[in-house]
Amino acid sequence: MKIFSYNVNGIRAAIKKGFLSWLEEYSPDVICLQEIKANKDQLDLEVFSKIGYKYNYWFSANKKGYSGVAVLSKTEPKNIQYGTGIDHMDFEGRNLRVDFENISVMSLYLPSGTNVNRLQYKFLYMKEFQEYITELKNTITNLIICGDYNICHEAIDIHDPIRNAKVSGFLPYERNWISDFLSSGFIDSFRHMHSEPNNYSWWSYRANSRANNKGWRIDYNMVSHKLKSKIKSAYILDNIKHSDHCPIAVELIL
């Protein structure tokens, strides 16, 4: 099973940049999208069906043109869970889960800490999301949480760890949260398969960052420990450029 995650920074903009032809060519079984910035009624859903994704699910923010997540699948899931049931999370359209027979896949868009108020909200979200997942794992053990976590875990995951040490996305509290999240029963699938540096999933639009590979690895496919032996490969598609992020992938043998 091939699972992709991709912060598209606006699904309509990504489509104009060739997203659909790329998706048809690479053909993952499931793709989790973040920051779709669109409501379902603003999209022509038939274009997804035509390339094999008849089963597509959209969870938008209440605020138009903001946030939002989606999951596109070639196979019909047995259950779809929109949101977490925690109002302040669901108001911004940040979690969508689809359950298949053997695994469940979640698309997650964790907030960024762009200012003091949003940073405090990010910390609240992190705390309550961890509590939610801890409870969820009591009933769903084969879980993959794909998405934009807006956090670099280790120094190897960011191009300049010293200068960014006090920047949201690489703060000690955020990094420790990722460590704790992994300790709670998850595997960073990419780092599980790759130990080399200079692998990133997001680049600022400023200062020619992408051309110079001055990036951050803030997108993850987190796989529950029970699926560890099923991980076949994990990789970053950093040559794909519909967004300031790029797609990331994990392949499982189920």
Selection from 145, 123, 129, 149 nearest residue 201 by Cα: 149
pLDDT at 125: 98
Q: Is the dihedral of CA 116, 117, 121, 124 positive or negative?
A: positive
Percent of the chain whose predicted confidence (pLDDT) is above 90: 100
Q: How many CB atoms lie within 10 A of CB 183?
A: 8
Q: Per-residue pLDDT tens for 81-120?
A: 999 999 999 999 999 999 999 999 999 999 999 999 999 9
Mean pLDDT of 215-219: 98
Helices (H) and strands (E) in the chain, counts: 7, 14
Q: How far apart are CA 213 and CA 173, in angstroms?
A: 26
Q: Per-residue pLDDT tens for 158-205?
A: 999 999 999 999 999 999 999 999 999 999 999 999 999 999 999 999
pLDDT at 13: 98
Is residue 29 annotated as a catalytic residue, yes or no? no
Mean pLDDT of 221-234: 98
* DSSP symbols for 147-186: EE-----SGGGBS-TTTTTTSTTS-HHHHHHHHHHHHTTE
Q: How far apart are CA 10 and CA 68, in angstroms?
A: 9
Mean pLDDT of 73-77: 98
Model's pTM, two decimal places?
Answer: 0.98
Q: How far apart are CA 107 and CA 99, in angstroms?
A: 12
For residue 194, give every residue at least 6 positions away whose Cβ sits within 8 Å of its Cβ, in sequence order, or none: 234, 235
Mean pLDDT of 42-53: 98
Query: Mean pLDDT across the chain, nearest whole number?
Result: 97
Mean pLDDT of 216-227: 98
3-class DSSP state of 115: coil
pLDDT at 76: 98
Catalytically annotated residue among 29, 99, 148, 160: 148
pLDDT at 135: 97
Res. 210 pLDDT band, cuts 50 70 90: very high
Which domains does the chain carry?
2-252 (3.60.10.10)
